[in-house]
Amino acid sequence: MDISIKNMVCKRCIMVVSQIFDKAKIEVAKVQLGKVETAETVSPDALEQINIQLKSAGFEILNDSWARLKLRKPFLPMRLSRETYN
Q: What is the pLDDT of residues 11-51, one digit of tens each?
A: 999 999 999 999 999 999 999 999 999 999 999 999 999 99
Q: What is the extent of the structural domain holding 71?
A: 2-85
Q: What is the pTM of this model?
A: 0.74
Confidence tier at 86 by pLDDT (50, 70, 90): very low
Please spell the DSSP secondary structure of 27-83, one letter per residue.
-EEEEETTEEEESSPPPHHHHHHHHHHHHHTT-EE---HHHHHHHH-TTHHHHHHHH
> How wide is the angle at C-alpha 46 spanned by C-alphas 50 and 36, nearest 5°?
55
Q: How far apart are CA 65 and CA 62, in angstroms?
A: 8
pLDDT digits 0-9 by tens, 48-61: 999 999 999 999 99
Q: How many CB atoms lie within 10 A of CB 32?
A: 11
User: Which CATH number belongs to the domain containing residue 27 in this structure?
Assistant: 3.30.70
- The total of structural domains in the chain comes to 1
Confidence tier at 63 by pLDDT (50, 70, 90): confident
pLDDT of 74 > 60? The answer is no
